[in-house]
Structure 1
């Protein structure tokens, strides 16, 4: 059997504001707790008006204050923008406020448009080396809880009674290998990269190099009592992948965003492909059949599901429908 968790990006509903989007996220987290979901994560995105969650650590603290049992975390903090020491401090504070309920998820991508990335990294003299940052973060987190902290390191306190669970988000065998090497959990971003062979290789790599541990699989999923209705809702969703002349490629939610990304990146030439996002959809039974298949095939013990931006009420209804079966089986 498998457990279910949720990831929310705080989409801003048409004609509404970030205030509404963040309120919807908090309400969704409270309902997820009532339904028995294992954890609730919030994302980090910069430089766009379509998503309101640009500071996950702030949103995590607010959700922790408005819930009492569910684990809450980042999915994830985009480490390349920040000091590993500061990230360790922030999550040690959160873990001291809500011991045993905090997850620290780390992402590798910029999570935004080029100008936002440049502004976030304005203090840096060179492009950060992610693996070096990740290693430093691990050291600071370990040092804060060690019985005898390394005196050569700054203390990234406070010392929480229970530390945050650690997760590296990625979509490749290299990411799986990095997570295993530092003793972190691994979350495969299947909602961003649905290639079956890459999924298999990444999960197998993590299991082999972590001593048999199971990775978590993140997927986008939308459920309706009516399969045709679910298909119709998903058919409206689009992804626009922009390919720049420097070899970089990024997927964005609107064509205008893709064009703006190319402009901000200074690309002289680029092309945009319109694609359909990878979203599991259908009745709750349809979706759980596929989750069961993936669980059996890859040994997945937990899925993190992202409800797509199909409307606030529709997203909530999907979360409620999907909770019916698995949470009695996987609680």
Structure 2
């Protein structure tokens, strides 16, 4: 079975370390991923997080492009609600001019942070004039088309090849939107692993895109033994906080849940603690699960989210998985 393997790293901050160490650990991971033959390496966008260091993915992307030579580097993803489509297109056109044929633009709808950081990011945005998500995708398409005859603002410099475009989502609505705008769909299985939702979303994307296969993002951790992998993943937790206005969001701890509610101005909230959905075990066991998902859904590429574990363990995991993938992917 042939499919591509790629990586997503959120630059988690190890206990006793700082953000600088986390970012350089991500750079080391990207360089090693290139050596091991992974197809893409993406970084995330999270704001005002004490446990995650990647707040400005486009800056980190530029650094990673300079530290590598052939692996594709991109965002998984830019949180589009905070920015103008023109600025996003301009930024990624510049990156693609620096590293032609290696830049991916992935975007998402989530805020990527707590209410105070969202308000700070959007302080200059007039809510009455704020474009909706679908319109922003259309605008980015226009700017990335690099048409010299276009009479509007041009997102220069125009690169030799445009960045590849990816929409991160986990719903039929996202699938249909991605297809209608000509964007690749990346199903966020690491955030929503419901099999029935996955099936419906994949089917909707294939129908709307004329038969294209989506990419599937999953969290995965490989170790030398199943027992050790289970122990490490078993210590991971997600806390879902539910606010009275119907809003719900996943955070990393009860303390973060309380802080999110405080920033949202809510005193009456509830939480649910869950173990995150992470493929775990030996590399051979994870390979079998990926093989089965490929067989069931025709997945052409998996983006494996490295869990928030110490840098040495994330590195070991991708090395073990690479050994298994040698017989899978050219």
Q: Distance in 2 between matches of 1:319 and 1:329?
A: 15
8 Å contact from structure 1 (residues 70, 101) kept in 2:
yes
Q: Distance in 1 between matches of 2:202 and 2:48?
A: 32
Q: Does 2:150 match 1:150?
A: yes
Q: 2:114 — aligned with what?
A: 113
> Can you list the C-alpha shifts for 1:94-129, whole angstroms capped at 9, x where unaligned?
000000000000111000000000000011121652
1:133 corresponds to which of 129, 132, 136: 136
Query: 1: CA distance between counterparts of 2:65 and 2:201?
Result: 32
Query: Contact 2:14–2:309 at 8 Å: present in 1 too?
Result: no
Report the Cα distance in structure 2 between the residues aligned to 1:215 and 1:241, rounded to whole angstroms: 27
Residue in 2 that maps onto 1:243: 242
How far the C-alpha of 1:329 sits from its partner, in A, is: 2.0
Q: How do 1:14-163 residues align onto structure 2 when only pairs under 5 Å count?
A: 14-126=15-127, 128-142=131-145, 144=146, 146=147, 148-151=148-151, 153-163=152-162
Counterpart of 1:309? 308
Q: Which moved more, 1:125-134 or 1:162-171?
A: 125-134
Moved over 6 A (4+): none
Q: How many residues align?
A: 327
Secondary structure, aligned partner of 1:273:
strand
Aligned to 1:170: 169
Q: 1:134 Cα shift?
A: 1.8
Structure 2: give runs of 5+ residues left out of the alignment: none
Superposition RMSD in Å: 0.9
Q: Please give the per-residue CA displacement for 1:35-67, whole angstroms capped at 9, x wherever unaligned.
A: 000000000000111100000000000000000
Q: Is contact 2:12-2:309 (8 Å) kept?
A: no
1:247-301, CA deviations, whole angstroms, 9 ceiling, x for partnerless residues?
A: 0000011111111001101113110111110000001111011100000100101
Stretches of structure 1 lacking an aligned partner (at least 5 in a row): none
Q: Normalising by structure 1, what TM-score?
A: 0.97
Shift of 1:327: 3.5
Distance 1:149 1:156 in 2: 13
Query: Secondary structure, in 3 states, of the residue corresponding to 2:241?
Result: strand
Alignment match, 1:199? 198
Deviation at 1:130, TM superposition (A): 1.4
The CA deviation at 1:325 is: 2.0
Q: Shift in Å at residue 328 of structure 1?
A: 3.6
Partner residue in 2 for 1:289 = 288
* Separation in structure 1 between the aligned mates of residue 149 and residue 249 of structure 2, nearest angstrom: 41
Specify the alignment match of 1:189 in structure 2: 188
For 1:122 and 1:128, the matched residues in 2 are separated by 15
Q: Is the 8 A contact 1:79 1:130 kept in 2?
A: yes
Contact 2:8 2:76 in 1 (8 A): yes
- 1:270 aligns with 269
Residue 12 of structure 1: aligned partner: 13
Deviation string, structure 1 residues 54-105 (Cα, Å, up to 9, x no partner): 0000000000000001000000000100010000000000000000000000
